[in-house]
Structures are given as structure tokens and as C-alpha cells.
Amino acid sequence: MGGFFMFFEPMYLVFAIPGLLLAGYASFMTKSTFKKYSNTMASSQLTGAQAARQMLNSQGLQDVQIERVEGFLSDHYDPRHRVLRLSPPVHDSPSLSAVGVACHEAGHALQHAQGYVPLKLRSALVPAASFGSKFAYWILFLGITLQGLGQVGGIGASIVNLGLILFTAAVVFSVVTLPVEWDASARAKVQLVSAGIVTPAEQVDAGRVLNAAFLTYLAAAVSSILTLIYFLIRSRR
């Protein structure tokens, strides 16, 4: 039982609470900003899907497909199948929120086509990061528990080190995600105007949606870094 309560000691809260507060703020800002500009229509009257199509076509990416998928803000670009998947509120609406998000995802398609290095790195990290995010906590819990029980032979320490390696992979993934997402938004902001999707004034408001969404990635990175620092400190005690 001692190992279990180690994960909920006051020191853990010192590292966890800032990340939780930032994540809550980021989620609130993303949803409220998206909702606000969902009520402001682009003067071009292009839906999110049409805006993404126009942006992709302007960059010679006619072969990238666009699909409608269920879910709220489940929008993403699939580099394996070269498909842009947009949620109904983005795919079907001509709002500034919709065209901003759609063109952000189209920005990932541009990154893919141009061999953007951080995107390649993030894609390469997916298997390790996915495994680490699922199992690192359990492995760390087991290792710290064994250490707390005075496990001989260094088994507990070895398990902790394995957990730290797996968790680090997830942390690196979240950090690499930051330039990938920022760059996709930067590309979208330029293309929104140059492709004739919005006016310069409208681009400012659409950009606010993208900036708010970026906070969620920043919060995830900060939270994961703080958690890793906690585990590093805890494992050496």
C-alpha cells in the first residue's frame, strides 16, 4: 500500500496542480473562442471543407482527400492515407472558427508534402509515445512500490528506469508537437488570405481560434514535463 500512496503525496500535487490548472484554462479558452467565432461567418461563405479544399488546391495538393467524421473538434490530418478528416461543425460551417480549424489541418498536409522535419519526427515517435502514455504510469507504480518494499537485486530500480524511459518518449512527443502545431497554424493564417478564403480583418479573428487551440498542446507539454520531473525526483529518493 505504501507505493500506492506515494503517487498522491503532497509533492506530487505541487507538480500536478499547475498542469491541471493550465489544461483547464486551455480547454475553456478553446471551447469558448471556437463558440464565439462560430457565430461569425466568413464573407466568402466557404464552409470549412470548401476552405480546406481551396487551400490545398492552391498548393497543388488536389490528391489530398477531405472526409466528414463525427465528433466535436475531432479534426485531424492522416498522413498515412493523405486524408483530411473534419468534424461536422468544421466541415459544414462557413464560420471563421470552421475555416480556421479546417485550414490549420490543411496546414499539416502542406507540412507532410514539403517534408517538414518536426512532423516527420513526431510521426516516428507515435508508436513509442502511444505505448508510453498507456503503460508508463503502471510500470512506474510497480517499480516504486517494489522500491518501497525494499526489493532486493535492484529489480524495482530497473522497472522504474524502464517506466521513466517510456514516459520520456511521451514527453518528447508532446514537446515536438508544439512546433508542428504552431507551424500548421502559421501556414493556415497566411493561406486563409492568399487563397481568398477570408479578408485580412477576418483572418485576425480566425487566428484567435487557432491561438486558443494551441494552448491545449502547450498545457499538455507543460503537464507532462512537470510529471516527468516529479517521477525523476521520486525515483531517486
pLDDT digits (tens, 9 = 90+) for 75-102: 999 999 999 999 999 999 999 999 999 9
Among candidate residues 214, 209, 211, the one with its CA nearest the CA of residue 48 = 209
Alpha carbons within 13 angstroms on the beta-carbon side of residue 193 total 14
Catalytic residue annotation? 105
Mean pLDDT, the chain, rounded, equals 90
Q: Other C-beta atoms within 10 Å of 152: how many? A: 8
Q: So what's the pLDDT on residue 223?
A: 93
Q: So what's the pLDDT on residue 154?
A: 74
- Kindly give the residue spans of alpha helices, DSSP state H, lying in 59-116: 88-91, 96-113
Dihedral angle computed from the Cα positions of residues 34, 37, 42 and 47, in that order, rounded to the nearest 10 degrees: 30
Q: What angle do CA 41, 44, 47 make, to 5 degrees?
A: 65
Q: Quick check: 47 pLDDT over 90?
A: yes
pLDDT tens column, 1-22: 344 444 557 788 888 899 899 9
Q: So what's the pLDDT on residue 8?
A: 57
Q: Quick check: 62 pLDDT over 80?
A: yes
Query: Angle, to 10 degrees, between the axis of helix 155-194 and the axis of helix 200-235?
Result: 170
- Residue 237 confidence class, pLDDT cut points 50, 70, 90: low
pLDDT average, residue stretch 141-155: 72
Q: Quick check: 151 pLDDT over 60?
A: no
Share of the chain above pLDDT 70, in %: 94
